Structure 1
Amino acid sequence: MGTTARTADGHVAPGAAPDGRTVLGAPRPPVDRPRCVAALGSAVEVHRVLVVDAPAGFGKTTLVTQWSSARGGPVVRVSLDAFHDDPVRLLRTLAGAVARAYPDTGGTGAVRSAGAGPGAQLDAVAELLGSLPAGTPVVLDDVHHVTSAAGRDALTAVLGARGPRFVLLGRAVRGLALGPGRVEGDVGDLGPATLALTPQETGDLVRAWGPGPDAAAVQDLWRVTLGWPVAVRAALRAGLLHRGRPQRALRPEDVPLTDYVREEVLGTLPPALADFVRRACVAQVVDPVLAEALVPGGAQLLDECVARGFVVRTPALAEAPAEPVWHAVLAAHVRVLVARTRPGTTRAVHRVVARHLASSDPASAIVHAVEGRAPDVAAQVLAGQWPELLVRDQLGAAQRLCAALAGSGADAPGPSPATAVVRALRSGGPAGAVDPVAAVVVAALMPAGGAAAGPATGPRDPLHAPPPADEATATVVHLLAGRAALNAPDAPPAGVPGERPGPPRPPDRAVAARLADAADVAAARGWPALALACRAEHALACARAARLDEARAGAAAVLADAARSGPTGAPLVTAAHLAAGLVAYWRDDLAAARRHLGAALDAGGARPELAVRAAAVLVTVCLAEGDPAGAARALARLDAAGAARGVEALGVSRAYLAALRQDAQGRTRDALALVDTSDPAFTSPLGACWRSDLHRRVGDRGAALGALRERGSVEGCHDVERVTFRAAHALLRRDPASAHRALEAALDAAAAQGVLRPLRERAAALRPLLVEHLGWGSAHEPLVTRLLVAQQDAPVPRPSAWALTDRELQVLTCMPSRMTVQEIAASLFVSANTVKTHVRSIYRKLGVDSRREAVRTAVRRGLL
């Protein structure tokens, strides 16, 4: 399980190294590793040459010893050292190992008699190996010591011998021309992924060496060491597994392995690679571009570190694959060594990393600048990236780090937008503002004499005022002023159930335009999080302005980019989730609406004004799906999101949602009793239409018409409100022609962007009118058919209807229209022949001979 010293003649001698190096010898008693032994045996059977390549301390030698013992039979085994760079010495040592394993071959004498030249001796060794029994294992240990071209050429030639099976052990087996053999399957590899201990093996090994700790301690040890055997043994010897009740989890630097890493890892590497490892471990560098910035040729050196097993991936226990990282124990002790012996290197590395991360991760860049004692770099990053830090909610911490590095606990000297924003955020937002962060930051950034953005003048002024000259300031102002305008108390109605809007008016086009411009500027300036936030708000602005296709596409693109950017992108896209949820709800895709609205609630902790709207729409989705428990949960989340400042103050009416629940439970009069016309939610276009429906259902047509008259015209309103208003009007018209015209107007508005939900909500009441509408004539017959087929609350049919199948009833629903057989087939997604078969069956079951008679009979029997 550890590094093993060897004598000059190639014999294995476990224990302390004669040269005084720190060596952790194999434990007594040795611990069996049947999984690794089996993997080694299987690989030897499959491949003529097997490379067992892993860093020091992975128990390569011990593993081969166990395998040899379990296998039985002779094994030719050679332990190499730096002196075997001489090919003659290498070949003679190999011949001697053959002679020890097979005394009858006379191997040593044959090689000596072949002459002093390496060519003749190589021929003799090849002949000697060819004479061995087929499949004889030849183990060459510590192959990494052979570094000369002549030595590697000799070893490559030896591996060409047919008959034996070669097992090469080393810490970096390179330069042996094994690539073609790997392609053909002649050469195989066993690396750290196989040799590392599993959690179960870690526990078995620990228990074999002494009193067994509890399972949690073993799991903690494996988490830190990732099964590196030498690290597990060092932790056990240090008593780290028997700490009683530790106050914290085990850390990589707790494992006492610093001297081992210095001598057995760094001390055995080529100087250039060792220097790179020291620098890369300081900042956990795994990016090839950054590696190249650290040292010339750094990308190639990083690739070598990956090949040697210094850089690993999250083990299989993780839920998803992670980015490669340096082995935690190795990196921790390399950092200790660098800090102790090369403090200048540490500072230099941090400066390089700070400059490299300035655009992609400015907060980390400032941290590295602080570690590197580089106040100029920190100040440059803060000045250039403060908009990005602001939207990531990292500006305050970054500004404090810069101020501390400058030698002061106060704000950094000199006026700057970053300083103004941090001071404004410390003072808190104005009382009563729906979005206090936006209000206070915009007020701090607007130039003297420009339009104010405080609560007295409203948040839209900065969108129409001349923008600040500084591009960064202008971009931030447009983002925050735009998002504040979307959720302001006087924002126009936008089809959001339960929202408390201002008076109806056309949407402010400047909001979406400024947000789109801000997104473009942020992308061009290298502010990815700011660009993502602007695009998310732009998607919501499009949804509220009834640009549904643009909102849906924009939200989808934002969410895809946020998923690729990782956890940092999630809080920035709450608005995109809300936009996607609203569009899905309006288009009657309730499953997608529930998914996006739930995500908006999950990510909306810092944006309660969005979270309460998402919860309000989610309540209506759950009610539409017949899920009262889900509606109750959504209301609870609504209360939680509005706990600090109040749901109503954030722009949503809880009373309206409570009345909706009463209505969904069939308590129409109880719902009417909860109506409060002083609440803007009840007098909004959606609220007025819903009140009209309540009055209609209790038989009060006058009150129903009165509720609609309160709103007057809905021209210029959101598509959702126009469809809802016209559908409600159609239900109240006594004149058939007027009713059909109102219904056709509703269908016109619905078909334009697929706004189906208002019609689906009234499908039961509209059903008779929809059936007649097919005969009256409509430009939207497929949509009418879809509404009739999807309607779940149709009147209960008479017993004679049971003779018709579900598909026949759907075809019957289309028959009053002027649709041809082919058009009916297309609307139902079946073939024309299938429709003809259903029509003949309908005629037979109803006892009729024509389509007109079928419709009359169906109406008379209550089927239509």
Structure 2
Amino acid sequence: MVDISDHARGPTIPAVPYADPVGDPFLRARFALPARPVTFLRRQRLIDHLDQALRTPLTVINGAAGAGKTVLAAHWAAGLRQPVAWLTAEAGALRPGVFWAYVLQAMRACDGPLSDAVVAPADADRVDRRLLATLAAELNDRDRPLVLVLDEYDRVTAPDVAEQLEFVLHHAGRGLHLVLVTRTEPLLPLHRYRAAGELTEIRAAELAFTPEETVALLELHGLSLPVRAARALVDRTRGWAAGLRLSALAALDSADPELYLKEFEADRSTVADFLLAEVLKGQPEETQDLLLRVSVLERFCPDLANALTLRTDAEPILATLHRDNAFVEPLGHSWYQLHPLFGEILRAHLRQRLPGLEPELHLRAARWLRRSGFLPETLAHGAAAGDWDFAAGALVDDLAIGQLFTSLRSGDLTQLFSHMGPEARSPASDLVRAARNLSGHDLERGMTRLRHAEKRLADDAPDLAAAQLSCALLEALAGRLTGCPSLAEKAAEAADGLVHEVPAHLLDKHPELTALLLTHLGSARLWAGHFEDARAALTTAAGAPGGASTVLPRQDSMEHLALLDYLDGWLGRAERKALAAVSQAERDGVPQPSGSGIGQLVLAAVAIDRHELGRARALLDEAPLPPGGHDPVSAAGRALVTARLLLVRGKAGAAAEATDPAVSTAVASPWATSRAALVVSAAHLAEGRPDQAAEELQGVSGDQPVCVAEAAAIQLAAGGTGAAIDLLDGIRSGGRSGPAVTVRAALVRAQAAESAGDAATARRLVGQALLDARRERLRRPFLDAGAWIRPLLATPPLDELAADWLTPGTPRRDEQPQQASPPPPLVAVELSGRERDVLERLARMMSTEEIAADMYVSANTVKTHLKSVYRKLAVNRRGDAVRRARDQRLL
């Protein structure tokens, strides 16, 4: 078996006839360069660094046991073209006279020319200052520096020796280059050398193998591993040389080496033997006990370690372990972590040495972490201890139950509490169960458990405001999911009365609770058709303090506000809010699509009104489907958009059937019911049943101006001119209705006027409709109007108002005919949704900055999309891009 330690020795040197001051013969092996193992990998980056280090008088190679320090230094020294004196320190050679006798002998062994004036010390315990001065002077006179490598320098712990070595180094000038190979911080004033730029350091991070170097090392062992798998191995071993070599040797005996390297059990490997022998067993009993106990922690500080050991000596022990490179890694601010492999091995050793203690250690850690305000780690250790009542209580008492819904780590929390068994019986445990059920849209179980928790809180702990506020949040969510605004309103009222009883720092710490509650309240109000009240709650939620904890409710609220704008007939506003919601979530690191999907549904609905049917289908497919489909706003939105898309594509029967989810809810929504009735009515009309179409319109609410205007258009098409005008006259918009109302209303009145022979009024109303629709690119009402409008759109000045966005543009009489456009490509151009958004704004003559502001993105992002559009359309200018896009029917 190949010796992979730092101490593998090479060929010996000729016999030395001298003895040390004690009278013992010099041990020749201590002057020999260690041999390289057969599987040694030359790492040029480290050799280059050591070559550059010759420019400084002092080099320190500092790393843990098995980091490959010695073989690196020996390989580098063997390639130098100048004298190299090598000395391996030993614990018994700490007396100054003995140490310097060995140093001088190492220099003579490498043919270092020392005069007879440099005489080895005769006293093992002291060194004459004159000897050190003479040595330094002779070194200073050298033409070429002597390289002195002191291996295992961590064994030199005598302050006198360190002081003498620093004296010689300082006065030797450029005649001496000292290399210290050590596991610990050497006893030298390194800060002075750093400040003067006279120190080169190679430490653990640089000694660690990279994934690419790991692949090469394993190949020397006869193993082939892809870089991806090597990267996982490096993550686990931190690139530790001995760990990689030992793992490779063990993998050779495995039937599947790659699988072994991926899944090997560290505690049952030669790695465990190495670490236990080299690191753990050499430590004092108190240090071993501390290491075993903190192995249950991902990170720890002295106070937390003391809580696990029930002692008070953790601070100096941890500082020493770090200084000695004993696989205790600093994280800053007095926090540490164990090397991953060392931690695995220690945990296994803990179970053998102190069986049954691990759950108690987790519970001690959880209690300390809870007092110190570290909630995620508190929950993890409470769960590891099996004390689910403690873990649930910590979550609820911290007012953090909202993190099960909104935090970017909500999946981790859901997974954590999925292991909670029936033994957890506290009200907090019931609340967590209810939250998990409701987050998965399991309404029946969620409501049952919520009622059980509320009853127990009322009976057992009526003064726990944090738990009661958590109940209010879940009640508001239940109100939203059941489409019951009264339940959500009651929850919001209860929350208002509780916030003053909860410590202010908890509310500041968890803004997601308020943001979620307002979002649920706003959604329930929107479902009930209380648009203005919904807008008030949603606007407040959308403006909640930023950060990861509120990004999802902020996105959700903004998407609901976009839906409100759409329902009021403002396509442009709805589009901008929906895009802003997506952009905001992307900036905060939320993967898209996310949330309820209402934003994508709004964009799809806008695309249908603009007759961009391919884009509408793509957006509809992108919109996430909530678990169980129980969010009524989202479910109704998806059903209605799907139905409208089917309708405009001529599939009337399928469109009518697709509206079912919008009207099959326990609590009806006036706007969802009205829009579903419109689709069904239009389907009857398309299939030649005008009477049934008119009858279906009875289900349209008069409080929905957009729906009333569309109903009037269907009524007119069914032959009910008077009924259509009556519907328009009854619209109660309060000034909030947008172009989707005014355009349809103007077209209905124009058609009625045209039928009555009043061409002037018809032309005026169509012109008004074109002006209102042009900025919004609202095409659907004109396409649905029928054949009567086409002759009007072909006459001036209406033709110019419709040109380029509604009908193909025609040259004015004073313009020369343009050359024919190049033929379209054989393969259709495919643009992404964002590229289409940019292109459509480009056609509206908007500048780059205006497009960026309109889409809530940066100007550089717009430029990137423009370059892609130009490339796909094979053009170089804006005008050419717009013309080519129109030729391809992309606009």
Q: Please, what TM-score do these two structures have when normalized by structure 1?
A: 0.65
| Residue pair 1:363, 1:389 contacting (<8 A) in 2 also | no
Instruction: Please tell me the residue identity of whatever aligns with 1:439.
Output: M
Q: Which residue number in structure 2 is paired with residue 652 of structure 1?
A: 636
Mapped partners of 1:477, 1:381: distance in 2: 15
Alignment partner of 1:149 is 2:159: yes
Alignment partner of 1:760 is 2:749: no
Q: Which residue number in structure 2 is paired with residue 2 of structure 1?
A: 5
Q: Structure 2 stretches of 5 or more lacking a match?
A: 13-24, 405-409, 566-572, 664-671, 676-699, 754-759, 783-800, 817-840, 846-853, 855-891
Distance 1:486 1:228, change over 3 A: same
| Residue pair 2:86, 2:149 contacting (<8 A) in 1 also | yes
Instruction: Please tell me the residue identity of whatever aligns with 1:478.
Output: A
Q: Which residue number in structure 2 is paired with residue 70 of structure 1?
A: 79
Deviations 1:257-307 (A, max 9, x none): 223212212345577665543333232324576456556475676566666
Alignment partner of 1:339 is 2:351: yes
Alignment of 1:816-835 (within 5 A): none
Mapped partners of 2:83, 2:434: distance in 1: 80
Question: How far apart are 1:101 and its partner, in Å?
Answer: 2.0
Mapped partners of 1:326, 1:88: distance in 2: 39
| Residue pair 2:400, 2:513 contacting (<8 A) in 1 also | no
Mapped partners of 1:327, 1:272: distance in 2: 19
| Residue pair 1:598, 1:614 contacting (<8 A) in 2 also | no
Question: How far apart are 1:150 and its partner, in Å?
Answer: 2.5
Distance 1:75 1:760, change over 3 A: same
Question: How far apart are 1:231 and its partner, in Å?
Answer: 1.4
Alignment of 1:803-842 (within 5 A): none
Mapped partners of 2:749, 2:52: distance in 1: 83
Deviations 1:577-604 (A, max 9, x none): 2223344675342543444689999889
Alignment partner of 1:575 is 2:553: yes
Single out whichever of 255-264 and 265-274 deviates more from structure 2: 265-274
Alignment of 1:290-439 (within 5 A): 290-291=304-305, 293-294=307-308, 296=312, 298=314, 308=325, 310=327, 326-343=338-355, 346=358, 349-358=361-370, 365=378, 368=381, 381=394, 384=397, 388=401, 391=404, 410=423, 412=425, 416-418=426-428, 420-421=430-431, 435-436=443-444, 439=447
Mapped partners of 2:55, 2:485: distance in 1: 72
Q: Which residue number in structure 2 is paired with residue 834 of structure 1?
A: none
| Residue pair 1:14, 1:26 contacting (<8 A) in 2 also | no
Question: How far apart are 1:80 and its partner, in Å?
Answer: 1.8
Mapped partners of 1:76, 1:689: distance in 2: 97
Deviations 1:746-774 (A, max 9, x none): x9xxxxxxxx99972549989xxxxxxxx
Name which of 166, 173, 176 aligns with 1:162.
173
Q: Which residue number in structure 2 is paired with residue 807 of structure 1?
A: none
Describe the SS at the equivalent of 2:180: strand
Alignment partner of 1:561 is 2:548: yes
Deviations 1:638-689 (A, max 9, x none): 58546x4578797415442134325777999998999899761514627506
Q: Which residue number in structure 2 is paired with residue 171 of structure 1?
A: 183
Distance 1:659 1:626, change over 3 A: same
Question: How far apart are 1:548 and its partner, in Å?
Answer: 6.6
Question: How far apart are 1:193 and its partner, in Å?
Answer: 2.1
Describe the SS at the equivalent of 1:611: coil
Instruction: Please tell me the residue identity of whatever aligns with 1:120.
Output: R
Deviations 1:308-335 (A, max 9, x none): 3835699xxxxxxxx9853221211222
Mapped partners of 1:202, 1:714: distance in 2: 71
Name which of 519, 530, 535 aligns with 2:515.
535
Instruction: Please tell me the residue identity of whatever aligns with 1:691.
Output: E
Describe the SS at the equivalent of 1:238: helix
Mapped partners of 2:169, 2:716: distance in 1: 91
Instruction: Please tell me the residue identity of whatever aligns with 1:263.
Output: A
Instruction: Please tell me the residue identity of whatever aligns with 1:189.
Output: E
Question: How far apart are 1:145 and its partner, in Å?
Answer: 1.7
Single out whichever of 542-551 and 483-492 deviates more from structure 2: 542-551
Mapped partners of 2:773, 2:356: distance in 1: 66
Deviations 1:10-69 (A, max 9, x none): 755799xxxxxxxxx977424231324434334414533222111000111101111112
Name which of 231, 238, 249 aligns with 1:226.
238
Q: Structure 1 stretches of 5 or more lacking a match?
A: 16-24, 315-322, 404-408, 451-466, 493-506, 563-571, 748-755, 767-787, 804-809, 815-826, 828-864
Mapped partners of 1:211, 1:795: distance in 2: 67
Q: Please, what TM-score do these two structures have when normalized by structure 2?
A: 0.63
Mapped partners of 2:588, 2:654: distance in 1: 31
Q: Which residue number in structure 2 is paired with residue 440 of structure 1?
A: 448
Name which of 274, 281, 295 aligns with 2:295.
281
Mapped partners of 1:301, 1:724: distance in 2: 73
Name which of 209, 212, 217 aligns with 1:205.
217
Mapped partners of 1:765, 1:376: distance in 2: 60
Describe the SS at the equivalent of 2:178: strand
Question: How far apart are 1:70 and its partner, in Å?
Answer: 2.2
Q: Which residue number in structure 2 is paired with residue 35 of structure 1?
A: 44
Q: Which residue number in structure 2 is paired with residue 617 of structure 1?
A: 602
Name which of 226, 229, 238 aligns with 2:250.
238
Question: How far apart are 1:611 and its partner, in Å?
Answer: 2.5
Distance 1:639 1:91, change over 3 A: closer
Describe the SS at the equivalent of 1:106: coil
| Residue pair 1:512, 1:542 contacting (<8 A) in 2 also | no
| Residue pair 2:541, 2:553 contacting (<8 A) in 1 also | no
Distance 1:93 1:725, change over 3 A: same
Q: Which residue number in structure 1 is paired with residue 645 of structure 2?
A: 661
Mapped partners of 1:430, 1:205: distance in 2: 49
Instruction: Please tell me the residue identity of whatever aligns with 1:444.
Output: H
Q: Which residue number in structure 2 is paired with residue 796 of structure 1?
A: 809
Instruction: Please tell me the residue identity of whatever aligns with 2:219.
Output: R
Distance 1:799 1:232, change over 3 A: same
* Paired residues, number: 704
Q: Which residue number in structure 1 is paired with residue 205 of structure 2?
A: 193
Single out whichever of 385-394 and 257-266 deviates more from structure 2: 385-394
Mapped partners of 2:648, 2:302: distance in 1: 59
| Residue pair 1:224, 1:251 contacting (<8 A) in 2 also | no
Q: Which residue number in structure 1 is paired with residue 476 of structure 2?
A: 482
| Residue pair 1:91, 1:122 contacting (<8 A) in 2 also | no
Distance 1:296 1:184, change over 3 A: farther
Mapped partners of 2:449, 2:361: distance in 1: 35
Deviations 1:597-639 (A, max 9, x none): 899998899x9xx625455335336557876455334434558
| Residue pair 1:396, 1:422 contacting (<8 A) in 2 also | no
| Residue pair 2:382, 2:388 contacting (<8 A) in 1 also | yes
| Residue pair 2:402, 2:516 contacting (<8 A) in 1 also | no
Describe the SS at the equivalent of 1:162: helix
Mapped partners of 1:382, 1:447: distance in 2: 19
Describe the SS at the equivalent of 1:188: strand
| Residue pair 1:689, 1:728 contacting (<8 A) in 2 also | no
Mapped partners of 2:727, 2:388: distance in 1: 66
Describe the SS at the equivalent of 1:680: helix
Deviations 1:393-426 (A, max 9, x none): 89999889887xxxxx7454xxx41354478789
Mapped partners of 2:268, 2:740: distance in 1: 67
Name which of 223, 228, 252 aligns with 2:266.
252
| Residue pair 1:577, 1:596 contacting (<8 A) in 2 also | yes
Instruction: Please tell me the residue identity of whatever aligns with 2:299.
Output: V
- Aligned CA-pair RMSD: 5.8
